[in-house]
């Protein structure tokens, strides 16, 4: 075994010890649990509404016919840029009713990614305003502390799991996390949309 291999193993061992000590693995396990329950809950809600309230396909078709596609996309982009207040799953279900669902699903993923970049820039800008910086640091203290500890790994978790990606992005900008690395890890946002669509598209016909 050469010295380079030993060095790599030593670094991996140290990283493993660090993430174990700081609770990263527990955080991942909790995030996985939290990601599964909302998906199941959302699909269950769709089925309940579908069978006991209104045909979900009719409801989504009504939304598609009533509102312009650009208006819905604009609302989604604003939501993803500012704290992610509307669950993306609603828009994923909506995209299934459009003539080219995969295309619009991809547009949603892109808008979410771009919204994250805006959130990152927002976090970066906040650091220049002392009063706002103090308020945000208190409000997002958990996210800021986590990204200081785990960096890119937390961005990956935020991109894939139902943790508001905007908040993670703001925290990344707040601590001035390397922008090129943020852009790279944030690309996993696309994977989230495609993976969630596999489940949601089966429910929405």
Is 187 inside any structural domain? yes
Matching residue, tokens 């299934």: 96
d(CA 139, CA 153): 21
Q: For 36-95, how does the pLDDT look when each residue is reduced to its tens digit (9 = 90+)?
A: 666 666 667 766 765 666 666 666 667 677 778 899 999 999 989 987 777 888 888 888
Q: Does residue 172 register a pLDDT over 70?
A: yes
The pLDDT score that the predictor gives to residue 181 is 92
User: Looking at the domain assignment, is residue 174 inside a domain?
Assistant: yes
Prediction pTM value = 0.74
The span from the CA of 145 to the CA of 171, in Å, is 9
Tell me, yes or no, whether 7 lies in a domain.
Answer: no
Between 73 and 175, whose confidence is greater?
Answer: 73
Q: How far is CA 73 from CA 64, 151, 154, 201, in A?
A: 11, 30, 27, 18
Q: Residue 109's pLDDT is what? A: 95
Give the pLDDT score at 78.
92
- Residue 188 domain boundaries: 17-203
- 2 in any annotated domain: no
CA dist 185 and 166 (Å) reads: 14
Q: Span 174-202, mean pLDDT?
A: 89
Q: Does residue 1 fall inside a structural domain? A: no
pLDDT value, residue 117: 95
- Read off the tokens for 93: 């279900």
Q: What is the pLDDT of residues 146-155, one digit of tens each?
A: 777 877 788 8
pLDDT digits (tens, 9 = 90+) for 88-116: 888 888 888 888 989 999 999 999 999 99
Domain count, the chain: 1
Q: Token pair for residue 107? A: 């547009």
CA distance 108 to 189: 10
């Amino acid at each position: 075994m050469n010295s380079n291999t030993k060095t790599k193993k030593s670094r991996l061992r140290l990283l493993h010890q660090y993430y174990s000590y700081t609770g990263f693995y527990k955080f991942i396990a909790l995030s996985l649990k939290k990601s599964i329950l909302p998906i199941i809950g959302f699909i269950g809600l769709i089925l309940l509404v579908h069978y006991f309230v209104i045909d979900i396909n009719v409801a989504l078709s009504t939304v598609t016919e009533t509102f312009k596609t650009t208006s819905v996309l604009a609302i989604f982009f604003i939501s993803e840029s500012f704290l992610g207040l509307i669950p993306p799953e609603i828009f994923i279900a909506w995209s299934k009713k459009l003539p080219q669902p995969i295309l619009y699903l991809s547009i949603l993923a892109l808008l979410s990614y771009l919204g994250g970049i805006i959130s990152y820039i927002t976090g970066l800008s906040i650091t220049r305003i002392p009063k706002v910086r103090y308020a945000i640091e208190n409000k997002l203290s958990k996210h800021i502390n986590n990204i200081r500890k785990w960096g890119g790994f937390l961005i990956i978790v935020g991109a894939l799991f139902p943790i508001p990606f905007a908040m993670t992005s703001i925290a990344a900008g707040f601590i001035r996390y390397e922008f090129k690395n943020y852009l790279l890890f944030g690309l996993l946002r696309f994977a989230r949309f495609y993976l969630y669509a596999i489940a949601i598209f089966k429910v929405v016909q």
